């Protein structure tokens, strides 16, 4: 019997695995992302947490940049920020799609892909104040689905991998604060956004303290933590500048600098854990149980 044409590239996989592999790539293809390579490329668990966790920050960064364009806050720069963020979303989803996730994890990943596609569609074209609420809603949906995926990855690893999640969450909070600020400035519903901003500020302060107290450290991590503490003072001052002519620009620039520092920190913890724990990969051998 001739093999099904869709399975000709999968000659060595069991039929049920081939079907599952095709299904897990459907949403990736549908929204323009590369389908998972059949030759799986397992990630170190800390790296998978890093990649999934970055999606949380990118969801808020995209919405922040869109609001900046609506507000005409360095619009060319904001356009570049948004385009870069969308590109990183695509890259991270593709990389995670090749990691050999089990069926339940692939399902969580596909929800992220669908949410990313929705957000990408909303921010396409000329920025419009009328779409701000929908863009924010889509960003919150991607944040929630990425957080579920990140949490599940953390739960399946060693407890020490939690530090990567904490550092990664700081990236998200750095962008969430700026996004909330810009949406308030753009005239969106101020009460819930002000609460969101205040909550994020408190959580960021607590997270920074947790990172400073963590036993996992290197010289580079210590330097980045010092920079983060200094930048946090500048960032808080910018966030308190509501009504000042330069407040929007200050928040836009300091939030990007804080994101850069926190991204370096997350990568630093990822590298330190790989050295400490070895390259504990998300096991593609889970498929053997099928």
For the record, the structure tokens of 146 come out as 């990425």
Residue 111, pLDDT score: 97
Residue 19, pLDDT score: 36
| Predicted confidence (pLDDT) per residue in 213-249, tens digit | 988 888 999 999 999 999 999 999 999 987 677 999 9
CA–CA dist 256, 231 (Å, integer): 11
Q: Stretch 165-184: mean pLDDT, rounded?
A: 95
Residue 14, pLDDT score: 37
CB 225 within 8 A of CB 211: yes
Q: Stretch 131-160: mean pLDDT, rounded?
A: 90
């Amino acid at each position: 019997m001739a093999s099904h044409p869709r399975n000709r590239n999968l000659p060595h996989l069991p039929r049920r695995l081939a079907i599952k592999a095709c299904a897990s790539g459907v949403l990736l293809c549908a929204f323009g992302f590369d389908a998972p390579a059949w030759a799986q490329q397992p990630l170190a668990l800390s790296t998978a947490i890093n990649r999934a966790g970055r999606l949380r920050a990118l969801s808020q960064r995209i919405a922040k940049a869109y609001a900046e364009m609506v507000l005409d806050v360095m619009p060319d720069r904001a356009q570049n920020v948004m385009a870069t963020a969308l590109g990183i979303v695509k890259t991270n989803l593709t990389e995670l799609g090749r990691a050999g996730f089990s069926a339940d994890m692939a399902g969580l990943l596909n929800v992220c892909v669908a949410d990313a596609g929705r957000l990408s569609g909303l921010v396409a074209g000329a920025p419009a104040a009328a779409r701000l609420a929908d863009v924010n809603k889509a960003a919150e949906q991607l944040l929630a689905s990425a957080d579920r995926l990140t949490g599940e990855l953390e739960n399946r690893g060693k407890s020490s991998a939690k530090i990567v999640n904490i550092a990664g969450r700081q990236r998200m909070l750095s962008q969430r604060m700026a996004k909330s600020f810009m949406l308030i400035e753009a005239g969106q519903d101020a009460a819930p956004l002000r609460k969101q901003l205040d909550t994020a500020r408190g959580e960021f302060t607590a997270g920074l303290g947790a990172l400073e107290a963590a036993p996992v450290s290197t010289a580079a991590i210590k330097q980045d933590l010092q920079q983060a503490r200094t930048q946090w003072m500048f960032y808080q001052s910018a966030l308190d500048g509501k009504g000042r002519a330069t407040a929007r620009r200050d928040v836009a620039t300091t939030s990007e600098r804080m994101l850069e520092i926190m991204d370096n920190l997350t990568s630093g913890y990822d590298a330190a854990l790989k050295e400490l724990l070895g390259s504990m990969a998300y096991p593609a051998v889970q498929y053997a149980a099928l």
